[in-house]
Amino acid sequence: MQIPLLPSELHTTERPSITAQWTAVVRALELDRPEPERIVSDEFAPVFLTATSRAVLESLRLGSPLVRRAERHELAGVSAFVLLRHRFIDDQLRDALADGAEQVVVLGAGYDSRAYRFADELRGRPLHEVDLAPLSRRKAEVVAGHPELFAANTIRRVEIDFRTESLTDRLLDSGFAVGVRTVVIWEGVSMYLTRLAVSATLGALREICGVGSRLAMDFWHEPTGRGRYDQARRAAAQAIRLFGEPVTFSLAPDAAPGFLDRHGFAAVDVAGAAELVARYATGGRPSEKSLYAVAAQLN
């Protein structure tokens, strides 16, 4: 029998997402910093780690001085971006809830803990976590196993096979209220989809969300330069394919407002690497230049 050397594509396996675990490791490692120096404080992140991810986290902690030095290198900017986009989206969520949004949708929820970190701000407003069944079920098991840590909340887990099932239908089945102001979080997902899939998702959201709904997400733009760092970035994006989660969709920052506008969303904030660093970064950490965060409002 031949043993596969590479992870299967997420839709064809029961394995946890490698990239979702990696982003949880990054958030967990951030907790080692003094609170004023953290970009994000996610005390729930360590609980979601697998045994392998916990071993990686401990290794990083053992090499802390070297890790802190490496974090300031340009090519380490992806790790900082993971934190910076999380903080950016946190701010968008907080502002939208304060402004009267009635429900929240987290697309590709992974190990997102906003349902718990923002429990007070949500005040019983429903939060729909949408993801593949294996990821959604593992997360539910972790939460159920730590009742002392995870506060009771109005969380509706929405299992979906994005290849065969309608996002609209699955959300309606979970009690999604059509036509009301909604916060949609779409973090770390668009770059792993096709342009057609991204457009279809935005089209579905336009149809079921109310005017004034807020969308917070991130995009990847394939580097086009010939410098060694640009070549390294392109190689890194291709290398993710080895984990069964290939990067497939690229959108330039200056094209994002027009792309979103064609789907009914007006961009209100496009934050590239320099802007994210200026707002949130600590410890001299740069952000990855090929990634950026966007907030938009449904017209």
> With contact defined as beta carbons under 8 Å apart, do 276 and 84 qualify?
yes
The verdict on residue 133 lying in a domain is yes
The verdict on residue 59 lying in a domain is no
Residue type, 200: A
Which residue intervals of 157-289 are DSSP H helices? 167-173, 195-208, 228-239, 256-261, 273-280
- Residue 134 tokens read as 């294996």
Question: Based on the structure, what is the number of domains in the chain?
Answer: 1
Fill in the DSSP letter of residue 172. H
pLDDT for the residue numbered 163: 75
> With contact defined as beta carbons under 8 Å apart, do 259 and 174 qualify?
no
- Residue 295 tokens read as 């907030």
**How far does Cα 13 stand from its chain's mean position?**
21
Handedness of CA 262, 264, 268, 272 (dihedral sign): negative
The verdict on residue 147 lying in a domain is yes
- Residue 79 tokens read as 């790790």
CATH at 156: 3.40.50.150
The residue segments making up the domain with residue 179 are: 72-298
Please report the beta strands in the chain, taking only residues with DSSP state E, as ranges in sequence order: 103-107, 127-131, 155-159, 182-186, 214-220, 265-271, 291-298
The verdict on residue 15 lying in a domain is no
The verdict on residue 42 lying in a domain is no
List Cα–Cα distances, 31 to 42, 45, 57, 136, 254, in angstroms.
7, 9, 11, 24, 34
> With contact defined as beta carbons under 8 Å apart, do 122 and 153 qualify?
yes
The verdict on residue 226 lying in a domain is yes
Any idea which residue has 């934190």 for tokens? Answer: 83
- Residue 249 tokens read as 């969709």
pLDDT for the residue numbered 222: 85
The tens place of each residue's pLDDT in the chain, 299 residues long, gives: 333 433 445 555 555 578 899 999 999 999 999 999 999 999 999 999 999 999 999 999 999 899 999 999 988 899 999 999 999 999 999 999 999 999 999 999 999 999 999 999 998 899 999 999 999 999 999 999 999 899 767 799 999 987 789 999 999 999 999 999 999 999 999 999 999 999 999 999 999 999 999 999 999 998 776 777 666 666 666 666 555 568 889 999 999 999 999 999 999 999 999 999 999 999 999 999 999 999 999 99
The verdict on residue 208 lying in a domain is yes
The verdict on residue 216 lying in a domain is yes
| Relative orientation angle of helices 273-280 and 77-98, to the nearest 10 degrees | 70
